[in-house]
C-alpha cells in the first residue's frame, strides 16, 4: 500500500499512466504512431450498409479485438456491457503502467468515467413496441417484463440479453473499476455529451488539486456505433453521408467541404496523482494537468454561439485556472468534429482568444482519423496530448485542403510535425452546451 501524503490546499496534479483502445489498436503509442503516419481508423462498418443508413462508415472497434477484450476481462469485474469492456482494458492498462499496486485500498482514490446513456437496439425496440397502446398512449410495462422471461421472447432475436438494462448501466463500469482497484473514495459517471471525457478528467483533477484525493482513474468509454445511435445522429444532421466516398476522406475538420462527423467507439484512461504522492512512490511523471474549465450554455441543442464567444469563455477560464496566458499555449488539440456549426464556433473562438497569434498556433483535429467517440473523445485526445508532450511531435489533421471564411487563418497541422511543446489546450464541446477545455503541460 502506498503511503498517505499529507495535503495542503492546492496540489499539482500529474499524469502517471495512460491506456487506450481504438479500432484495431490496444495501446496509446500504437495509436499515436498510426495517426502520425497519416493513417485512419475510419472504415466501412460491417453492418451499416445492411441497416440501410446513409453514413455506412465508422471508427468502430474491430470485432475480433472486441471479442479478445471481452474474453480478457476478469470475472471479478462483473458485468460490464460493451462500453464497459472497452473501459476495462484502457483503465487496467493505465493503472498497470502507473506502477500503482494492484489494489489501492484507500478512500483517497477515485474513479471518474465518462459514458453516455445506453440505447435500445432494434430487437429490444420491437419487443417493447408490441406492448404499447398507441390510442391510449400507454405502455404495458408489466407485460413487457413478463415477456422478457419467455424463452421465445427478445432473447431469441439476435442473441441480445433482454435484461441488460437491468444489470448494466453506464455507472456499472465505474463501480466495477473502483471495486477492482480499491479506489472507492469518489465515484463519478459523466454523461456530459461529447464533453464528458474531458469533464471526467477535469473533475478528478479538481479533487486531487484540492487535497481530497491522492489518486484518480479518469477517462471515458463509448460503444455507440449501433443502429439506434447512428440513426439518431443522422436524423439531426450531425453525421457525414458516405456518398460513395473513400471512408478515410469523409471526416474533414475545419475544411470548407466538411459535412458532418463520423461516429466512433473507444476507451481511454489516465491515472492522475498529486505530485507529492507520485514522487513519494518513485513514479514516472508523464505530464501535468495544469488547468481545466467546464462551462455550460444553452444557445441551441446542437450548436453554440456562432461568434465563438461561449467556446472562448471556456478556453479563457481554463487558462485562468492554469495561471497561463494565451501565449503560453504551444498547441491546440481541437474538438474539430467536422460539422459546419462546431468547426465554425471553435475557429471563431480560437481567433478571439489568440488573436493574431492564431495564425502561428498549430491546431490538430484527431477526429479526422479517429472519428468522434462522443463521451470518450475528450479522454482519448487528452491521452494523445500527453504523448505529443512526451514526443515533442504534433499529429496531422487528415483531409484538410482549404478553409472557409471562418476557419481560414488557422495553422491546421496536416503532416506530422516536430515542435517544441510545453503546454497543450485540449477542447471538447458537447451537444446541449456542455463545454470543456483542459490544459496539459510538460512533466517538469
pLDDT band for position 92 (cuts 50, 70, 90) = very high
pLDDT in tens, 312-340: 999 999 999 999 999 999 999 999 999 98
Question: pLDDT at position 252, please?
Answer: 97
Q: Reply yes or no on whether the pLDDT at 48 is more than 90.
A: no
Residue 7, pLDDT score: 40
Cα(first)–Cα(last) distance of the chain, in Å?
26
pLDDT score at 158:
47
pLDDT at site 359: 97
Residue 298 lies in a domain: yes
Confirm whether 113 is domain-assigned: yes
> What pLDDT, on a 0 to 100 scale, did the predictor assign at position 108?
96
174 within a domain of the structure (yes/no):
yes
**Domain-ending residue, one of 164, 194, 221:** 164
**Could you tell me the CATH number of the domain that includes residue 342?**
3.40.47.10
Residue 423 inside a domain? The answer is yes
The least confident of 11-15, 235-239, 307-311, 396-400 is: 235-239
Q: Does residue 43 share a domain with residue 158?
A: no
Report the predicted TM-score, pTM, of the whole model to 2 decimal places.
Answer: 0.90
Query: Which structural domain range is residue 344 located in?
Result: 13-118+168-441
Mean pLDDT across the stretch 409-414?
Answer: 98
**pLDDT at residue 352 greater than cutoff 70:** yes
Residue 157 has pLDDT above 50, yes or no: no
**What's the pLDDT at 232?**
82
For residues 63 and 78, state if they share a domain: yes
4 in any annotated domain: no
Residues 280 and 323 in one domain: yes
Q: Do 176 and 51 sit in the same domain of this protein?
A: yes
436: which strand partners? 294, 428
Looking at the fold, whether 18 and 132 belong to one and the same domain comes out as: no
Average per-residue pLDDT for the chain:
89
Q: Do 179 and 113 form a contact (C-beta atoms < 8 A)? A: no
CA nearest neighbour of 341 among 295, 312, 307: 307
Mean pLDDT of 84-98: 96
pLDDT per residue as tens digits for the range 367-391: 999 999 999 999 999 999 999 999 9
Q: How confident is the model at residue 94 (pLDDT cuts 50, 70, 90)?
A: very high
In a domain, 60, yes or no: yes
Q: Same structural domain for residues 265 and 144?
A: no
At 1 the pLDDT is: 33
- When pLDDT is averaged across residues 26-49 and rounded to a whole number, the result is 94
Q: Work out how many domains the chain is built from and give that number.
A: 2
Mean pLDDT, residues 166-184 taken together? 84
Collect all residues with Cβ–Cβ distance below 8 Å to 226 and sequence separation of at least 6. Answer: 119, 121
At residue 8, the pLDDT reads: 40
Listed residues 133, 164, 195: the one ending a domain: 164
Quick: pLDDT tens for 66-82: 999 999 998 877 778 88
Residue for grid cell 479522454 = 379
CA angle (65, 371, 14) in 5-degree steps: 80
Query: In this predicted structure, what is the pLDDT of residue 76?
Result: 79
- Asked if pLDDT for residue 165 goes beyond 60, the answer is no
Domain endpoint, select from 133, 148, 164: 164
The answer to whether residues 409 and 355 belong to one domain is: yes
Task: Please report whether residue 3 resides in a domain.
Answer: no
Do both 150 and 172 map to the same domain? no
| Judgement on whether residues 35 and 101 belong to the same structural domain of the protein | yes
Same domain, 432 and 368: yes
**pLDDT value of position 171:** 81
Asked whether residue 264 is domain-assigned, the answer is: yes
- Cell numbers for 64, please give them: 475480433
Could you list the beta-strand ranges (E) of 262-413.
266-274, 287-296, 331-333, 362-364, 393-394, 411-412
- Examine the domain organization and report whether 134 and 252 are in the same domain: no
225-276 tens-digit pLDDT: 988 888 888 888 889 988 889 999 999 999 999 999 999 999 999 999 999 9
**Which candidate, 41, 25, 21, 31, places its Cα nearest to that of 90?**
21
Residues 136 and 224 occupy one common structural domain: no
pLDDT at 207 over 60: yes
Q: State the catalytic residues.
A: 194, 335, 372
Q: What helix, strand, coil percent values describe the chain, rounded to 5?
A: 40, 20, 40
Amino acid at each position: 500500500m502506498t503511503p498517505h501524503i499529507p495535503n495542503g490546499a492546492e496540489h499539482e496534479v500529474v499524469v502517471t499512466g495512460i491506456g487506450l483502445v481504438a479500432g484495431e489498436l490496444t495501446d496509446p503509442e500504437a495509436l499515436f504512431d498510426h495517426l502520425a503516419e497519416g493513417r485512419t481508423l475510419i472504415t466501412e462498418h460491417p453492418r451499416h450498409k445492411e441497416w440501410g443508413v446513409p453514413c455506412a462508415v465508422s471508427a468502430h472497434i474491430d470485432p475480433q479485438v472486441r471479442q479478445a477484450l471481452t474474453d480478457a476481462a476478469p470475472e471479478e469485474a462483473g458485468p460490464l456491457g460493451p462500453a464497459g469492456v472497452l473501459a476495462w482494458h484502457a483503465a487496467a492498462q493505465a493503472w498497470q503502467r502507473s506502477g500503482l499496486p494492484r489494489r489501492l485500498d484507500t478512500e483517497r482514490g477515485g474513479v471518474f468515467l465518462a459514458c453516455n446513456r445506453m440505447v435500445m437496439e432494434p430487437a429490444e425496440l420491437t419487443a417493447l413496441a408490441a406492448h404499447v397502446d398507441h390510442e391510449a398512449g400507454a405502455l404495458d410495462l408489466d407485460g413487457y417484463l413478463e415477456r422478457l422471461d419467455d424463452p421465445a421472447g427478445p432473447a431469441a432475436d439476435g442473441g441480445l440479453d433482454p435484461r441488460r438494462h437491468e444489470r448494466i448501466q453506464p455507472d456499472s463500469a465505474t463501480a466495477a473499476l473502483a471495486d477492482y482497484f480499491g479506489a472507492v473514495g469518489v465515484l463519478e459517471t459523466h454523461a456530459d455529451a461529447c464533453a464528458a471525457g474531458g469533464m471526467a478528467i477535469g473533475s478528478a483533477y479538481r479533487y486531487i488539486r484540492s487535497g481530497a484525493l491522492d489518486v484518480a482513474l479518469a477517462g471515458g468509454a463509448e460503444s455507440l456505433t449501433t443502429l439506434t445511435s447512428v440513426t439518431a445522429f443522422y436524423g439531426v444532421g450531425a453525421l457525414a453521408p458516405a456518398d460513395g466516398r473513400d471512408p478515410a476522406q469523409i471526416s474533414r475538420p475545419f475544411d470548407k467541404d466538411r459535412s458532418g462527423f463520423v461516429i466512433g467507439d473507444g476507451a481511454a484512461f489516465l491515472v492522475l496523482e498529486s505530485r507529492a504522492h507520485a514522487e513519494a512512490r518513485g513514479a514516472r511523471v508523464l505530464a501535468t494537468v495544469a488547468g481545466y474549465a467546464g462551462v455550460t450554455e444553452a444557445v441551441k441543442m446542437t450548436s453554440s454561439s456562432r461568434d465563438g464567444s461561449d467556446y472562448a469563455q471556456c478556453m479563457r477560464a481554463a487558462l485562468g485556472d492554469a495561471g497561463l496566458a494565451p501565449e503560453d499555449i504551444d498547441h491546440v488539440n481541437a474538438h474539430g468534429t467536422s460539422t459546419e456549426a462546431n468547426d465554425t464556433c471553435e475557429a471563431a473562438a480560437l481567433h478571439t482568444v489568440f488573436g493574431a497569434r492564431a495564425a502561428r498556433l498549430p491546431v490538430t483535429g484527431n477526429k479526422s482519423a479517429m472519428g468522434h467517440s462522443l463521451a470518450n473523445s475528450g479522454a482519448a485526445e487528452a491521452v494523445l496530448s500527453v504523448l505529443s508532450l512526451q514526443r515533442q511531435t504534433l499529429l496531422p489533421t487528415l483531409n484538410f485542403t482549404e478553409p472557409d471564411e471562418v476557419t481560414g487563418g488557422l495553422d491546421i497541422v496536416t503532416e506530422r510535425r516536430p515542435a517544441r511543446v510545453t503546454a497543450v489546450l485540449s477542447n471538447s464541446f458537447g451537444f446541449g452546451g456542455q463545454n470543456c477545455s483542459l490544459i496539459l503541460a510538460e512533466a517538469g
